[in-house]
Structure 1
Amino acid sequence: MAEKKEFGSVIVTRKNNFVTISMNRPEKLNALSPDLSEGLLKAFKEQAHNADVRAVILTGAAPSFSAGGDVREDIDPLKTMSVNEFNQYLFSFAELYRQIYRLEKPVIAAINGHALGAGMELALLCDIRIAADNMKMGELFVRMGLVPEIGMYLLSRIVGPGRAKLLCMTGDMVDAKEAERIGLVEQVVPLDELIPTAEKLASRLANGPASTIIIKKAINELSEMTMEASTDYSIRLQFQATRTEDHREAVNAWLEKRHPVFKGN
């Protein structure tokens, strides 16, 4: 039976050894209000310290993943903020972004409807993106005379510098088919299959070996290294992987001609 917990406008549902974190402001298309952002941060922090949870799905209550920043809720408070308060407000998003990106568990974005501006950035922070066929994504910051906060860095790695510049400088939106073509999402499925598909993958990853987490960390970090440094780093990680119980289980299972049973350690 699924267990549920709420962090303000965020609902966390646990099934076995993975959770679904759902943004729950459907009447505002899950626009990122301060309450929603704080709820997301608390939800992801909790998963970081929960050894029983081994994979995470991030999604939004229908009809959209997230329409981005809540302009109405953002603009009024900003008018009364001091320079230091405004700076702290912006850096609060940086903390959320780091928490998602550095989480030592696979994070799957299940993207329904619109993922715009900051909503698109949330999807980009995830390790794997599965899109519903009704999805539309766009880095809309430039339309407001602003710049993407983490999207420039992530997009250049995901789709390349040229495509990243095109998306960020024009603010154009792409549909699910185009997003899959350019590598912005890994899979497109019918809307009614989105969550079941994400849950199937989350369960598979959650029941994988401890090296799953090593691989996530390595891929995030290797692209910023030289070939020589990345080779040394990978060898150190390989040594770490050989010391895990899951590796020994995989070897024994191969010798005994059976499927391995991984425990994540």
Structure 2
Amino acid sequence: MKGGCMTEEKKVIGNCILTRKDNYAIIAFNRPEKLNALSPDLFLSLQEAFFEIENDESVRALIFTGMGDNFSAGGDVEEDIKPLKDKSAIEFKEYFNPLCEMYMRVYNVEKPTIAAINGFALGAGMELALMCDIRIAADTMQMGEFFVRMGLVPEAGMCVLPKLVGMGRAKMMCYTGELIDAEQALRIGLVEQVVPEGELMPAAEKLAARLAKGPASIKIMKRAINELGSLPLEQTLNASVLYQFAASRTSDHAEAVKAFLEKRKPRYTGK
């Protein structure tokens, strides 16, 4: 940052736009005329954009969003869903493996992730939002597990959704494909924040900038929460000692202690 101005670098990658802003990045789906439906081409663009910054240590937080009025309307019926019936079991698995791998990599990437959800987040679009650590919704947002409307089943949602909203609510959403509006999503724990539509990206970027300035212990906490969240308390406590040890060996921990003693704000490097 020079003279108080934020640096910004935009790159068009197929059907996605990758924007770098200082120490965080934004991946925006750029197929607004199709409600950012996940066609094979959009998925490949998403992969390329994500892989570019996945292990880039200068990018310390990541936002996913959609260009235009919608996050993503899910799988493209013509290009993605309709061809499924012609695939053998082996071809079907080969087709879905990259998607499942992508979900896992977003879920486990060692940087905090934010879904800035505008308009519709349906089916696979909702699944991707569920893979993010934090979901911020515009007040016009609507989410839905639309797989049942196509006679299909969710992928990641069947695992992650019950952890967020409870087993009964997750089953209701999956069985019915009901639409959940922003206020209801906030009430049941599906999103963490709701803001007016015009304030969505400023709110998401404000949080990303804050998290990107945080200590290395954030990525350790993310790993611990993902791995230990469903374990019994005793196992969690035993494992937490190892994570605490790892955090205590980071440069950011040493900087936090030093800053506290010197009565100043810490200057974290994410290491």
Question: Same fold judged by TM-score > 0.5?
Answer: yes
* Alpha-carbon separation, structure 2, partners of 1:203 and 1:259: 16
Q: 1:113 aligns with which of 119, 131, 136?
A: 119
Which amino acid in structure 2 is aligned with residue 211 of structure 1? Answer: S
Identity %: 60
* Alpha-carbon separation, structure 2, partners of 1:131 and 1:26: 18
* Alpha-carbon separation, structure 1, partners of 2:84 and 2:173: 27
Alignment of 1:1-265 (within 5 A): 1-78=7-84, 80-265=86-271
Aligned CA distance change for structure 1 residues 75 and 156 (closer, same or farther; 3 Å): closer
- The alignment's TM-score, normalised by the length of structure 2, stands at 0.95
Q: Check whether the contact 2:75–2:81 (CA below 8 A) recurs between aligned residues.
A: no
* Alpha-carbon separation, structure 2, partners of 1:87 and 1:255: 56
For residues 61-85 of structure 1, what are the alpha-carbon distances to aligned partners after superposition, in whole Å with 9 as ceiling and x for unaligned? Answer: 0110000000011245435544322
Which amino acid in structure 1 is aligned with residue 167 of structure 2? Answer: P
Which amino acid in structure 1 is aligned with residue 84 of structure 2? Answer: L
Q: Check whether the contact 1:41–1:99 (CA below 8 A) recurs between aligned residues.
A: no
* Alpha-carbon separation, structure 2, partners of 1:259 and 1:104: 24
Q: Which runs of 5+ in 1 are unaligned?
A: none
Q: Check whether the contact 1:13–1:20 (CA below 8 A) recurs between aligned residues.
A: yes
Q: Check whether the contact 2:20–2:26 (CA below 8 A) recurs between aligned residues.
A: yes
SS of equivalent residue, structure 2 residue 114: strand
* Alpha-carbon separation, structure 1, partners of 2:262 and 2:89: 65
SS of equivalent residue, structure 2 residue 36: coil
Pairs aligned (count): 265
For residues 123-171 of structure 1, what are the alpha-carbon distances to aligned partners after superposition, in whole Å with 9 as ceiling and x for unaligned? Answer: 1110000000000000011112111111111111111111111111111
Deviation at 1:198, TM superposition (A): 0.4
SS of equivalent residue, structure 1 residue 21: strand
* Alpha-carbon separation, structure 2, partners of 1:172 and 1:79: 25
* Alpha-carbon separation, structure 2, partners of 1:76 and 1:129: 30
Q: Check whether the contact 1:65–1:115 (CA below 8 A) recurs between aligned residues.
A: yes
CA RMSD of aligned residues (A): 1.2
- The alignment's TM-score, normalised by the length of structure 1, stands at 0.97
Q: Check whether the contact 1:97–1:122 (CA below 8 A) recurs between aligned residues.
A: yes
Q: Check whether the contact 2:35–2:69 (CA below 8 A) recurs between aligned residues.
A: yes
Name the counterpart of 2:4.
Answer: none
* Alpha-carbon separation, structure 2, partners of 1:188 and 1:19: 21
